[in-house]
Structures are given as structure tokens and as C-alpha cells.
A and B are shown apart, each in its own frame.
Chain A
């Protein structure tokens, strides 16, 4: 197959699939509606370090989780969630709440959607947990 034909099929195909997903609302995200969901998501991603304490953000987009390894963060990625320990992470203010930079190529950073009060409390908790 000529390269230009192949490239055209790929470009049109990618656009068509993307438009279909938007139309069919396949762009909705997981919401951590309660602690149990956050605890389960953390447990699936950290089998050897189950959650001991969980603080879910009001946005339902993230949770602070304490395990035997210390404090970590769980956050929503699309319809799923992933997690990261907070040791060594940099925390900075962000218009939507806080931004965490992990210095990890596989998980460079995450923006946490927090209310102003949450951002203050979470920042204090994160920095305290890192000491």
C-alpha cells in the first residue's frame, strides 16, 4: 500500500474514532465519590501497601492516602485511577489547587483539583508527610 494512502487512512481513522468517542461520551472520567472507592483503587494499585487512612478531595478527582510506606496520592486518569508515593515530590500552588511533581518519567506530575481550603490543608499534610 502506498505510504500516502496508508497515512490518509490513519489520519482519517484517528479523527473518526476520536469524534465517535466524543459523540458517544466516552470521555467521561471516574469520580471518587467516597472513601471506599478510593481505598479500593489504591489497594489495586498498591497490593503490598493497603490504605490505612484516606482523604478524598471534594472534586472526587484525587485522594491522599496513608499506607505503611507513608503518604501517597491517588488520582483519576480517565475512567481509572493511578497512584504515587509522595516522598521526594515537589508541591506547588496551581490555579486549580495544587500541582505535584514526582520526578518520575512514568508519572511526571499531576494537577490536583482542590478548593482553596483543601489546597491549604493538603499542602500542609503533604509537606508534613515528607518530613
Chain B
């Protein structure tokens, strides 16, 4: 069966541009609701363009992989609206785990880091997307959906809807949404936490559309009124060059692999351990940064993001 779904991310492009213009105008006239800086924003936009180009160049790899799986699966759930709805929810669960791997496995982080490399949080940050996602091989996490009988075209379609949903949450112009919405859905407040480099906010709120996954799997941290989010990387990069933004962590992995005195087991660990791991034990970790923060601010112990299980 051949299924045709629209490429929704392409169709949303004019909306993205318009929404960015509106957010900028809002911040300019209201003098609140976020920050823009020209070099940072243009880097984010060029990263977005590069991501689309990357998809055109190597996207066929994932497409062929899924079509090969589709050819061997005996299941076909069809394309009724409820099948699409279930596919959307399951694909969002898939997104949660790929995103979590993206922060806890350096090989995947090398692709995802560029999205966190801005020290700003506005709608252009949403477009600061990876150029190298295909090389993480995280497409494998989508394989069960195809084998369960969801058509690859449908999976790409719901994946596109997921990305579009995540665009609008990259803003400081919206404070909090209604309580019921904050309970179920990913929101600007929840996702601001995810982009924070404050120790409290590290490795939290991986959700794409539904924040329930973080609540279920113990990674949810609510935004705290008394601790504004400091955006960016734990140690920020020193360039606006999109090529360097896109590839810097891959280069760092290569340098770690080729330094003197490392074994093949060390090289394996440099790829699969969390970012910050070092073979000589001198590296850092999320847990270590949280412990340091609590040591300096004992009153934070046990508060959201500093529970015993996270340290």
C-alpha cells in the first residue's frame, strides 16, 4: 500500500518565520519575554537550514531502513484516524527515549548538543537542529513502530507534527499555561527547564509533546520561580560558526579516541558514557555538578532536581 502524507515541517516554514518576527516584535515593544541577539539567532537559523539540507542528502538512509522493515513485517494497521493518533502517541514515547539517550550517551549527544549550544531561548533556538542525526543510528528506536504495522510514511508524518509542536515551546514570552495543560503537555515552562545549565535543571524534561513521560520515568523537574533558567551548555562553545556548532562534539570524540594511552575499551566508553566522562577519572558528570551545588547551597537538598536519586 502506498500512503501519501504531507511534509508538514515544510508547510510550517512560513509560519515559523512569521512567529519569529512576532516574538521579536513582542520583546522589542514589551521589553520583556525573552532576549534576541543577532549572531546567535542567525546561527540558529543557519543550523535549521543545514538540518533541512542534511535531511535531503542523507534522509534516504532512514527511509530505506524503514521501508525494508515494512517489507518484512506481516502487520499493517492501515491509516484510520485512530491509528494515526496512536502512532503519534507512541512516536512521542519514542522521542522521549531518543532524547534521553541524546543527553546520556555521548555518541548521540554529539548530534544533539548543537540544539543546546545557544545561550538564548527563543523561537530561533527551536530551529537550531542537528545535521548529523542519521549517524547516531537512533532510527533503530523507531523500528518497533514499523514492525507493529505503522506505515513509515505515517511515522514520518507524526514525527513532523511532533517537531512542529516543539517549535512554539521555545519561548520565554509565555510564562505558564493552564494547570491541566501543564500537567499533561510539554510547555514553554517545562522546556525552559530542559535547556537550563543550572545544576538543578540538568538532564530533566526530555518530553517532546507529552510531559507525562517525564513524570512516569522520574525525569520531571518543574521550573522554579526563585531560580531563573541559565541557558546553554555547562561549558559554552566559543563560536557562532554553524559548521563548528554542528561538528564540534564529533571532533572532540575523535580527539579523545586518538589521545595517547587510551584502550579500545576507553574508546568505547568515550562513545557511550554520558558527556563529561573521562578515562582518567578526571571528568565531570551531572550528578557531580548537582552535588557541588548542594554542597554550596545546602538548603537545596531534596528540592526538585536535587532529590537523592539524582545525585
Binding site for B on A (CB under 8 A): 1, 6, 9-10, 13-14, 16-18, 20-22, 24, 26-28, 44-48, 75, 77-80, 82-84, 102, 104-108, 110
- The binding surface of chain A is classed by DSSP as mixed
Residues of B within 8 A of A108 (CB): 238-239, 244
A67 to chain B, nearest CB (A): 13
Residues of B within 8 A of A46 (CB): 235
Interface-side segment among B17-25, B79-87, B172-180: B17-25
B23 to chain A, nearest CB (A): 10
- A80 to B237, Cβ gap below 8 A? no
- B239 to A17, Cβ gap below 8 A? no
Residue-by-residue, is B81-121 near A (CB-CB < 8 Å gives 1, otherwise 0)?
Answer: 00000000000000000000000000000000000000110
Confirm or deny: B257 has a beta carbon within 8 angstroms of a beta carbon on chain A: no
- A106 to B248, Cβ gap below 8 A? yes
- B239 to A1, Cβ gap below 8 A? no
- B37 to A27, Cβ gap below 8 A? yes
Count the A-B residue pairs with Cβ separation under 8 angstroms: how many? 122
Residues of B within 8 A of A75 (CB): 238
Please give me the residue from chain B that is nearest to A25 by CB atom.
B28
Confirm or deny: B68 has a beta carbon within 8 angstroms of a beta carbon on chain A: no
B22 to chain A, nearest CB (A): 10
Interface residues on chain B, number (Cβ under 8 Å): 48
Binding site for A on B (CB under 8 A): 7, 10-11, 13-14, 16-17, 20-21, 24-25, 28, 35-42, 45-46, 49, 52, 119-120, 124, 197, 199, 230, 232, 234-240, 244, 247-249, 251-252, 284, 289, 292-293
A84 to chain B, nearest CB (A): 6
Residues of B within 8 A of A22 (CB): 38
B253 to chain A, nearest CB (A): 11
- B289 to A1, Cβ gap below 8 A? no
- B236 to A17, Cβ gap below 8 A? no
Residues of B within 8 A of A48 (CB): 284, 289, 292
- B41 to A21, Cβ gap below 8 A? yes
B105 to chain A, nearest CB (A): 19
Please indicate which of the listed interface residues B17, B46, B252 has the most CB atoms of chain A within 10 Å of its own CB.
B17
Bound CA span A100–B47, Å:
26
Kindly list the 7 A-B residue pairs having the minimum CB-CB distance in the complex, ordered from nearest.
A107-B238, A13-B17, A106-B248, A78-B37, A27-B38, A80-B119, A26-B36
